[in-house]
Amino acid sequence: MSAEDFLSGVELISPTEFAKQKVQAVQDYILLSAQALANLFRHPLYIADILQQADLIGVGSLSITVLAGTFTGAVLAMNSASTLQRFGSLSLIAQLVSVGMVRQLGPVITGLMVAGRNASGMASELGSMVVTEQIDAMRALGTDPVKKLVTPRIVSTTVMLFFLTILSDLFGLLGGSAVATLLLGLDFRQYWTDAWQILAFADVFTGLIQPVFYGFVIASIGCYYGMATSGGTQGVGRSTTQAVVASSVLILAVDAFLTRALTLLLGFR
């Protein structure tokens, strides 16, 4: 196939039009998010849908969260051990795993795992509803799809990610303790005493404020790409991929800004 043949099938778009589309997408995302949040203060609240989504998102993500947390803690302990041994400070491993998991790795790893599982699920479910006209049918039947579908998903993800992060932190510490005691021969009780005592308010606060933001990012991005789906089943696949990529990147971006903001706010180094 010649370059000419290849280019004849490619739709070229002017930079201005491209920029307009991107700005429009950001505007639509902000509007959807704002509308979803405003719906929290409007009747009805769809409690049953919130609980159903909490079960799907929270309980459904339990296994991947536990596994990801455990292995992250174990790997963190193993990698730290070689470095700490050089300085004769292997006993600090509990503190390192504890602070590392609770302040940063627990929330981020859990956020990324839940994003991979649920942002894609939301985008594909809502996208399928769009292309099969179920969203139009819902509007035609007098129900606001943002209130019925988007708001419950945002609330559930935000709340459940908070608890999943706590579990992930706990299992990360367990994974670290398994490595510390079984491979490195450290005392089990000493490990847990050190892990507990090193944690300050700032560490716990930093670790538990993050999932609130990440939960919002995951659900709002997943729902946005789902609701913006066009182009049939191919469009559903495209939305699903974009939702996972965008939510994962946004989690890391929010992490960077949040860490800086919390450092300034709480004053720790």
Partner 1 sequence: MSLSSQMFPSQARMQPPSDAIVFENVELIFEHKPVLDGISFRLPHGETKAIFGAAGAGKSTILKLALGLLKPDSGRIFVLGEDITEMTEDRLFELRSRVGIVFQESALFDSLNVRENVAFRLVEEGKTPAEQIDHSVREALSFVELENTIDMLPSELSGGMRRRVAIARAIITKPEVLLYDSPTGGLDPITSTNIIELLVKQRDVYKTSSLLVTHRLQDAFVMATHCFDRVGGHMKKLPPGSKAEVPMSFLILREGKVIFDGDAHELAHTQDEYIKKYLS
Give the other-Cβ count within 10 Å of 154's Cβ: 27
In DSSP notation, 10-31 reads S----HHHHHHHHHHHHHHHHH
Q: Does 20 bind partner 1 (CB under 8 A)?
A: no
Closest CA to 116 of 165, 65, 45: 65
Q: How far is CA 1 from the centre of its chain?
A: 42
Name which position in 91, 104, 143, 181 contacts partner 1 (CB under 8 A).
Answer: 143
Question: Any idea how long the chain is?
Answer: 269
C-alpha distances out from residue 155 to 110, 148, 171, 263, Å: 17, 12, 25, 27
Q: Does 44 bind partner 1 (CB under 8 A)?
A: yes
Residue 13 or 261: which CB sits closer to partner 1? 13
Name which position in 79, 85, 132, 263 contacts partner 1 (CB under 8 A).
Answer: 132
Name which position in 13, 18, 85, 133 contacts partner 1 (CB under 8 A).
Answer: 133
Q: Does 25 bind partner 1 (CB under 8 A)?
A: no
Q: Does 139 bind partner 1 (CB under 8 A)?
A: yes
Name which position in 31, 55, 89, 136 contacts partner 1 (CB under 8 A).
Answer: 136
> How would you label 66-103 residue by residue, b for 16+ Cβ within 10 Å and e otherwise?
bebbbebbbebbbebbeebeeeeebeebbbbbbbbbbb
Judge whether 226 and 130 are in contact, CB under 8 Å: yes
Q: Does 10 bind partner 1 (CB under 8 A)?
A: no
**Binding-site size, partner 1 (CB under 8 A):** 14
Name which position in 140, 201, 256, 269 contacts partner 1 (CB under 8 A).
Answer: 140
Task: Give the interface segment with partner 1, choosing from 3-11, 91-99, 138-146, 247-255 (CB under 8 A).
Answer: 138-146
Residue 138 or 200: which CB sits closer to partner 1? 138
Contacts to partner 1 by CB under 8 A: 44, 128, 132-134, 136-144
